[in-house]
Structure 1
Amino acid sequence: MTTPPPTPQAPPPPPSPPEDRGRAPGHEHSHHHGPATPGSRRLRTVIAAVLVPFAAAVVAGLVLLWPGAPGAHERSGVGFDRQTVSGKVTGIEHVGCNDAAGGGGAGAGGGGNGPQDPSAGGTGSSASGGTGASGPDAGAGAESGAGAGEHAAGVCEQATVEVTEGKDKGHRYPELIRPDASRRLHAGQRVVLAYAPDAPRALQYSVTDVGRTPPMVLLAAVFALVVVAVGRLRGLMALVALAVSFLVLTFFILPAILEGSNPLLVAVVGASAIMLIALYLCHGLSARTSVAVLGTLTSLLLIGVLGSLFIGWAALTGNTDDNTGLIHGLYPHIDMSGLLLAGVLIGSLGVLDDVTVTQTSAVWELHQADPGMTRRALYRAGLRIGRDHIASVVNTLVLAYAGAALPLLLLFSLARSDVGAVATSELVGEEIVRTLVGSIGLVASVPVTTALATLVVSADRVPHPPSSGVGGVPPRPEVPGPVSAGRLLGGGGRRRKR
């Protein structure tokens, strides 16, 4: 009996290309991993029709509101509006507080007020009787000088301070540091000196702050290195955007408000410029970024309307602490309530950028993961992500404002004031309005941005290739199986003899 030849097998089908592996038959969508652009000409036109005039209006606002060269300003010597020079502590010695207060007017007057209260009106020079201060702070300075004799007992520190810049460079004077001072000085420490040219020679200089340049520069360098190390090129662009934001704030927003322009209008123009530059610089010129810009713009508009309404309704003046009182005293033409609203807008912008960019990216990634997802399903999925995000962001915003106002909250707690009275006081009411209005804008940005992103990304659907199957369903590919030699050779094969 002859053994039949082995039945040859059909060659295996060629391997599918890498981009087709794991894809079900009939699903021929292409996945674009770069920033998608709207496939609909109509949507592209709508986006351009909104953003181009808006960007043009921002540029026009910058040109019209740009402040001129600052005029000559005579310093009042009050608060931060005073001349300062740098100095250095050359030595520290312990002296009796009674001897220092009675024997050296320069030490007691010049140093008693400086280290303890850097924001006091007349600094150390005003302690000699208020000669270096004007306005309401002059009395405080004189009162501080008069109270120097209260420390009759105890040991004080007397620092020898050297002026290291200016026309009196090299001049040394004694600075008294009382036992209850919140800041202690040490030899070799860099300090900031307030200079009162109209005061007596012995009282012209006083320590108002300490030098912090080295730790601040080191911290900024560490921050920049961490951002670039983690974010790479995008982190570098974020640092550039941060620098641009600082420049806009320093050279446009603050000088324009001091010049007398409407604070709200200046804040809207400045915040819009920061938003456009930062978002497009960090995330590129794409439909995804444009959707985030539109979502941020819509939320800022809502915050502005609500803030204006409730600040006016609650009769908030914006003049509630020493700093705002000093600004109002030096620049009475500034609208303080408008300044409050401007602060609400600028303070909310950074968190808004985070929410809108995150939502837009989430919708884009969901679409790339499942291009066949319907518009409604895509919106719902993006909204679920946004709810998780907004739950933590709102809490973050509230805690940020609470942390900034923590000393104030401690004062109310010590006074055991009624919660309702505290909440409705103007000082706390400002923070409540600031927090709640900003939070409403954040919450509203989630559905608004998600809806905009869904509309734009849904228009970027790649059409299916035409199918040749019945009813539009592509035919199922045949899987080759074992083939007999006869079929392979055309059906003639050799038969076994019986």
Structure 2
Amino acid sequence: MRSTRRDSLFCLVITLATLVLHLLPTGFDSRGPARSLRSQGKVIATDDSRVRTLGPVTTGIQSVTVELLDGPFAGRTVTAHNEILGKLELDKRFHVGDRVLTVLTLDDQGDISVAVAHDFYRLDVELALFGLFALALIVFAGWTGAKALLSFVFSAYALWKLLVPALLSGWDPIFVTLLVTTVLLAAIIFLVAGLSRRGAVAFLGSLLGILTTCAMALLFGAAFRVHGSVLPFSETLLHMGLGHLDLTQIFLAAIFLACSGAVMDLAMDVATSMAEVAAANPALTFGQLLRSGLRVGQAVVGTMTTTLLLAYSGTATALLMLLMAQGIPLAVIMNSTYVAAEVLRTVVGSFGMVLVAPCTALVGATLLARRPRFHPPAAQH
């Protein structure tokens, strides 16, 4: 009963922290365009007369007639422009019936002066998808699923309201990322596992794995000589006047942040197995429980080592196809900056997952093993 009360209190604390993060300003909220509004709109007409296509490249300006659906100008029809730059990953082409997010710039009288069709309106679909995810999680896992959902929301807010603003403000990327990652590990693990020895084992084991990954990233990051501009859109930050940012340190911090979820999963698997074994046989000694944890860790690591390889390969598929299509030798490919960056992220992250298993097993054996009882000497007659 006491454990349930502690867990409920911890859930309440994380819920309140999530609400505080929701209300917390990032410090960059007021840096957007002055006197601007965003409104959902429906495309009722398009004009492609200024759009030109040459081979796979399309450029120009598409004029879009939009009926605004919400906000103070709901029901009003405006003509918005959609600039097409010839970059498929950024461009969009609107058609009649599409729903768009329209950015409205207001004049001094508060009327619309310029309208831009920013992108397709996706918020309703995103919310519907998240709702299905939340429903499936709660239906399958019940109260544990509800706590996992809370940890998901808290993590998203912590990354957006704490980590990203701190990095933009020029805080040390390694320190602030380690700090936020530690907070997330504690919140996620203790929400799911409860304030228990099992949770403590999983938290300490995963923290040791993250610290190891951080040290490996710093050690081999310098040897690989990879600049942080390999991160998508990172160089754009410098052109925006954020020249104080250390992109390389941000890239190295992103390595252990990206693998923290997999490290936490592995630590939780080992900790849960050891807790079950200890509960089934409380007489197990430190050495017996350690060997049990190591055997579980060996089995889990066998499949987890390829997790990051598959994840990062999925994001770099187009790059690998481009390099192969050009007939570039493998030795040249492995020495290219982008591929070297992926190798660094994959191997360093996997190295952290290999070490988290024995670390968790050692912590678990220390916290879960039977403690020898002290027997006072028999009285002498």
Give me the TM-score of the superposition, normalised by structure 2: 0.78
Partner amino acid for 1:403? G
Q: Distance in 1 between matches of 2:29 and 2:321?
A: 41
CA distance in 2, matches of 1:248, 1:356: 22
Equivalent AA in structure 2 for residue 73 of structure 1: R
In the other structure, the counterpart of 2:189 is: 279
Q: Deviations over 1:278-306 (max 9, x none)?
A: 21222111222112111111111111111
Counterpart secondary structure, 1:316: coil
Structure 2 residue 120 is matched with structure 1 residue 210: yes
Structure richer in strand, relative to its length: 2
1:173 aligns with 2:82: no
Contact 2:278/2:368 (8 A) holds in 1: yes
Q: Specify the SS of the correspondent of 2:31.
A: coil
Identify the residue that residue 47 of structure 1 maps to in structure 2: none
Distance of 2:292 and 2:302 partners within structure 1: 16
Counterpart in the other structure of 1:482: none
Query: Match for residue 270 of structure 1?
Result: 180
Matched with 1:332 is: 243
Amino acid at match of 1:185: F
Partner of 2:94: 185
- More divergent stretch after superposition (348-357 vs 405-414): 405-414
Unpaired segments ≥5 residues, structure 1: 1-33, 36-65, 77-82, 102-107, 118-142, 149-156, 465-498
Cα offset, 1:232, TM superposition:
1.1
Aligned-CA RMSD value:
3.7
Task: Provide Cα deviations, 1:19-65, integer angstroms capped at 9, x if missing partner.
Answer: xxxxxxxxxxxxxxx99xxxxxxxxxxxxxxxxxxxxxxxxxxxxxx
Q: 1: distance between equivalents of 2:260 and 2:244?
A: 26
- Cα distance in 2 for residues equivalent to 1:230 and 1:71: 38
Residues 362 and 385 of structure 1 are in contact (CA less than 8 Å); yes or no, is this contact kept in structure 2? yes
The match for 1:10 is: none
2: CA distance, partners of 1:424 / 1:367:
48
- The runs of 5 or more residues in structure 2 that have no matched partner are 5-23, 376-381
Counterpart CA distance in 1 for 2:285 and 2:196 is 23
Which of 407, 415, 418 is matched with 2:329 structurally? Answer: 418
Larger radius of gyration: 1
* Runs of at least 4 residues off by over 4 Å: 163-169, 174-178, 180-184, 194-198, 460-464
Whole-angstrom distance in 1 between the partners of 2:327 and 2:136: 44
Whole-angstrom distance in 1 between the partners of 2:26 and 2:117: 34
CA distance in structure 1 between the aligned counterparts of 2:176 and 2:366, rounded to whole angstroms: 32
Q: Quick check: which one's helix share is greater?
A: 2
Give the structure 2 partner of residue 86 of structure 1. Answer: 39
229-238 or 380-389: bigger deviation = 380-389
- Give the drift of 1:378: 2.9
Greater relative contact order, per chain length (Cα 8 Å cut-off, separation 6+): 1
Tell me the CA shift for residue 462 of structure 1.
Answer: 8.2
Distance in 2 of aligned mates of 1:406 and 1:369: 46
Does structure 1 conserve the Cα–Cα contact (< 8 Å) formed by 2:82 and 2:117? no
State the partner residue of 1:79. Answer: none
C-alpha spacing 1:322/1:368, structure 2 compared with 1 (3 Å): closer
CA contact (8 A) 1:237 1:282 kept: yes
Q: CA deviation at 1:84?
A: 7.2
Partner of 1:320: 230
Amino acid at match of 1:160: T
1:257–1:263 Cα contact (<8 Å) kept? yes
- Per the TM alignment, residue 256 of structure 1 is displaced from its structure 2 partner at its CA by 1.0
| 1: CA distance, partners of 2:234 / 2:82 | 30
- 3-state SS in 2 of match to 1:319: helix
1:366 to 277, 280, 303: 277
Query: How far apart, in 1, do the equivalents of 2:64 and 2:167 lie?
Result: 40
